[in-house]
Chain A
Amino acid sequence: MIEVIDTEHCTACDICVSVCPTNVFDKTDGIPRIARQSDCQTCFLCELYCPEDALFVSPFADAPQTVDVAALKEATLLGSYRRAVGWVEESRHLRAADRSYRLFGH
């Protein structure tokens, strides 16, 4: 489930409010609010669209977890999915890294 909006980096662009398929976030005057956490489907897509790597989705789908933002940063987990799919400048080559054709038919 979505656990964190990192207030230090969030620019209140509201992209996450638009892209979350299950409408988990609400707009505010500033940083969006995680308004309906239990509706989160743990799809990780808000992380991909957040331009500031300010969101963290815990992989636990059924229960909220306590997470420590400092530790997440330490472990470079913020933005890790975005980097892995090539949605940041430094890793653009990964967009075409799919090797599924080597794995199908096993």
Chain B
Amino acid sequence: MTNSPGRAEKLSSSAGSVVYDADVLVLGGGPAGTWAAISAAEQGARVVLADKGFCGTSGATAAAGTGVWYVDPVPERREAAMASREKLGGYLQDRRWMARVLDRTYAQSNQLADWGYPYPDDDDGRPQRNSLQGPEYMRLMRKRTKQAGVTILDHSPALELLVDGNGVVAGAAGLRRQKGDRWVVNAKAVVIATGGCAFLSKTLGSNVLTGDGYLLAAEAGAEFTSMEFSNAYAISPAFGSVTKTLFYSWASFTDEQGSVIPGASSKGGRSVIARALRKGPVYAQLDQADAATQRHMRASQPNFFLPFDRTGIDPFTQRFPITLRLEGTVRGTGGLRIIDDSCATTVPGLYAAGDAATRELICGGFTGGGSHNAAWAMSSGYWAGHGAAEFARQLGTTIGRQAFRRGAVGLRSGNGRPLQGGALARSVQDEVFPYELNYFREAGRLGESLARLDALWLDASTADAPSEQELLRGREAAAMLATARWMYRSALARQESRGMHRRDDYPGQDDRYLHFVTTGGLDEVWTSARPLASAQYAEAAE
């Protein structure tokens, strides 16, 4: 195979696997991964991007579309944009990071416009850049990623990281599920952009998001933070997958008898909906949208209307049953801990971007609506790609370097019983879906759930690798399990309510917890408190 100098090299394709040699390997091809790949390639790195699904349709953004935290660089507007979210996020955010993300998001969005993204103009002819149509955006990102010289591997989920003798990340290995073989990419730096974990809840576009990147990073020793902020639940029609919540701001919510449920609302009253759903069905109707608003809604989010148009429901004049689907860390803020401005993790050579990384720096303990996730994905992707390329450059030659596979659970031989991915995934769902466990948290219930999750881990981590066809399912289930344990340990450690984390036993915000909770570990899950970035600066100045 011939390669132009800037391309990652395909070394061989023998013995059931293809091998590539690259400077930077990006895992995940959503917005964070594609921006990372492009940014690394712009630095001259030879880049491979591997996605579990298809780069361009896979992930939360491609299916859902997003509002974007795009704010004109007018000081008062920027100030207001930052200030408006601090209370919601529980004052955990960092102003310096918010300002950097606003700057970077502005630049990347304008880049998208230059690349031909069809942003609309308002009635005065001014371009409007605070919303992106998912399929359109990600189709463009795939094209630009290819044009940047990046080698894209579709349907190629990563299973495990490779690490050298000094603990430096050296690549990754995975499956080519439509070819029935394996891939290995030897790389000098790796960016984890595998998204969050939505626990196979069928929330829009998110069943590819099972926390795989967390698991393989944890096996290489990475740490997590803000994992207690992982209980985002989104409204959808009870029968459907379209968890797009913006339009429910125009809804009334009623019970079986048709009586309005007091306090129920999409913003600020979603917990009331959760409580009502425990008693019986809840209905919504978008009866507060006038004709013009209805028109704008149809133009702006065509997929919102698919479940209605295809079942003959008029959501403006008829009520329909709703439910809340768990989105976990996808619209939570927990994820891999990053330690510097280039989104490096605690593992040398390993970078994190998008939902796979924590969003605590700009969102604190709350997100979900408000466009910060999309802004974070493009900004952190850009920085992580840059950082990874720079790391690769400084590393120099790696000829002769030995790399070791770090994957464990579900990949090795064990006690003779193969890991049952399907059954394990359902057991994890039983612990994280119920509102009384995850939405409304309490020490006793969390503790009991953790005991069950720990037992599941003991079982899974001593099991045999499943058959080749079941390997991915097994690893996904194990990743969900690991994620649930970091979530609930962190939730136990935060003995207060803050952001999206609510404790029935500690309903108030408590200033003794004005810090981050770090977590990690697989067989033994640990947590510790970490001061806010602002507190660290204050200390340094003293």
Count A interface residues, CB 8 Å.
38
Residue A37, interface by CB 8 Å: no
Specify which of B63, B250, B302 is in contact with A45 (CB 8 Å cutoff). Answer: B63
Count B interface residues, CB 8 Å.
56
Which residues of A lie under 8 Å from residue B120 when comparing CB positions?
96-99, 101
Give the most central of A43, A97, A98: most B CB within 10 Å. A43
Find out whether the CB atom of A59 lies under 8 angstroms from the CB atom of B178: no
Residue A28, interface by CB 8 Å: no
Residue B532, interface by CB 8 Å: no
Find out whether the CB atom of B67 lies under 8 angstroms from the CB atom of A100: yes
List which B161-183 residues lie within 8 A (CB) of chain A.
177-178
- Contacts A20-B54, A85-B302, A101-B122 given: A77-B177 contact, CB under 8 Å? no
**Nearest B residue (CB) for A57:** B306
Contact code string A43-71 (vs B, CB < 8 Å = 1, else 0): 11100110000000011111000000000
Find out whether the CB atom of A21 lies under 8 angstroms from the CB atom of B249: no
- Contacts A23-B155, A23-B178 given: A59-B306 contact, CB under 8 Å? yes
Question: How far is A57 from B53 in the complex, measured between Cα atoms in Å?
Answer: 18
Which residues of A lie under 8 Å from residue B63 when comparing CB positions?
21, 41, 43-45
Mostly helix, strand, loop or mixed at chain B's interface?
A: loop
List which A6-45 residues lie within 8 A (CB) of chain B.
17-23, 39, 41-45
**Nearest B residue (CB) for A56:** B310
Question: How far is A39 from B421 in the complex, measured between Cα atoms in Å?
Answer: 13
Specify which of B205, B237, B247 is in contact with A21 (CB 8 Å cutoff). Answer: B205
Find out whether the CB atom of A81 lies under 8 angstroms from the CB atom of B240: no
Find out whether the CB atom of A42 lies under 8 angstroms from the CB atom of B241: yes
Residue B56, interface by CB 8 Å: yes
**Nearest A residue (CB) for B236:** A61
**Nearest B residue (CB) for A61:** B241
Which residues of A lie under 8 Å from residue B341 when comparing CB positions?
none
Q: Shortest CB–CB separation between residue A60 and chain B, in angstroms?
A: 5
Question: How far is A59 from B56 in the complex, measured between Cα atoms in Å?
Answer: 22
Which residues of B lie under 8 Å from residue A102 when comparing CB positions?
293, 296, 300
Contact code string A88-104 (vs B, CB < 8 Å = 1, else 0): 00000011111111111
Question: How far is A48 from B62 in the complex, measured between Cα atoms in Å?
Answer: 11
Which residues of A lie under 8 Å from residue B57 when comparing CB positions?
19-21, 43, 45, 49
**Nearest A residue (CB) for B138:** A45
Which residues of A lie under 8 Å from residue B110 when comparing CB positions?
none
**Nearest B residue (CB) for A46:** B57
Find out whether the CB atom of A41 lies under 8 angstroms from the CB atom of B241: yes
Find out whether the CB atom of A85 lies under 8 angstroms from the CB atom of B206: no
Which residues of B lie under 8 Å from residue A104 when comparing CB positions?
67, 130-131, 246
Specify which of B133, B154, B178 is in contact with A85 (CB 8 Å cutoff). Answer: B133
A sample of 16 inter-chain contacts (CB < 8 A) reads A18-B154, A18-B155, A41-B206, A43-B204, A44-B63, A45-B135, A58-B310, A59-B310, A60-B239, A61-B239, A96-B120, A97-B120, A97-B299, A100-B131, A102-B296, A104-B131
Closest CB pairs A-B (n = 9): A21-B53, A100-B131, A84-B302, A21-B58, A59-B307, A42-B241, A99-B296, A41-B207, A43-B63
Beyond A84-B305, A85-B302, 14 additional contacts (C-beta under 8 Å) are A18-B154, A22-B208, A43-B63, A59-B241, A59-B306, A61-B202, A77-B310, A87-B135, A95-B118, A95-B136, A96-B119, A98-B131, A103-B300, A104-B130
